[in-house]
Amino acid sequence: MTFSGAVHSIHLAPVASEPTISVEQAHAVPGKGLEGDRYYNPEGGAAEDHDPGRELTLIEIETIEALQREVKLEIRPGDARRQIVTRGVPLNHLVGQEFTVGKVAVRGIRLNEPCAHLASLTDKKILPALVHRGGLRAQILTEGVIRPGDEIRPR
């Protein structure tokens, strides 16, 4: 698979259900997630059982732009509650694949389908609009720092 994509923006939520914060970089740690995010810190209110599919979540900026066009849903990149917003990356095709985000190696685990919790924090229209395009859950394989502009490519 060949594609040319990049990190558009990074958004962390230190506490579950709280608004995300846009950051200029994030430290990725295998087995933990992104430092400062709710899944990295069990005190942040996320599930206590470790799930590799919660270490890193990604969504395409193209999907967010489509929501604005198709269902007139005004949503900012951080409102999707995914940590990494990408541009030019076919996330659905990366399930089961290894790829790099900057210098950080990751593995796509499963699609990140929309949930009732996301709808409660945004708008009910988001559920049907994000089916099969709600992003990707990934496992972090190597430690490193991720920044907006970092290249995303197959490994």
Domain ranges within the chain, ordered by starting residue: 5-154
Cβ atoms of 84 and 56 within 8 Å: the answer is yes
Q: What integer pLDDT is reported at residue 116 of this predicted model?
A: 53
Q: Measure the CA–CA gap between 125 and 128, rounded to whole angstroms.
A: 6
Angle (CA) 108 111 114, round 5°: 145
Total residue count of the chain as it appears in this document: 155
> What secondary structure does DSSP assign to 61-111, as a single string?
HHHHHHHHHHS-----GGGG--SEEEES--GGGGBT-EEEETTEEEEEEEE
> Which tokens is 13 given?
């939520």
Q: What integer pLDDT is reported at residue 61 of this predicted model?
A: 95
Separation in Å, CA 147 to CA 48, 83, 135: 27, 12, 19
Element (H, E) at 34: strand 33-34
Element (H, E) at 136: strand 136-140
Other Cβ atoms closer than 10 A to 24: 8
Q: Measure the CA–CA gap between 34 and 142, rounded to whole angstroms.
A: 12
Q: Measure the CA–CA gap between 130 and 134, rounded to whole angstroms.
A: 5
> Which tokens is 66 given?
């489509």
Q: What integer pLDDT is reported at residue 45 of this predicted model?
A: 52
Q: What integer pLDDT is reported at residue 121 of this predicted model?
A: 47
Which CATH architecture fits 5-154? Answer: Beta Barrel (2.40)
Tokens 């489509």 belong to residue: 66
Mean pLDDT by 10 residues, the chain (155 residues): 92 87 97 91 59 90 86 78 94 96 97 63 56 86 98 95
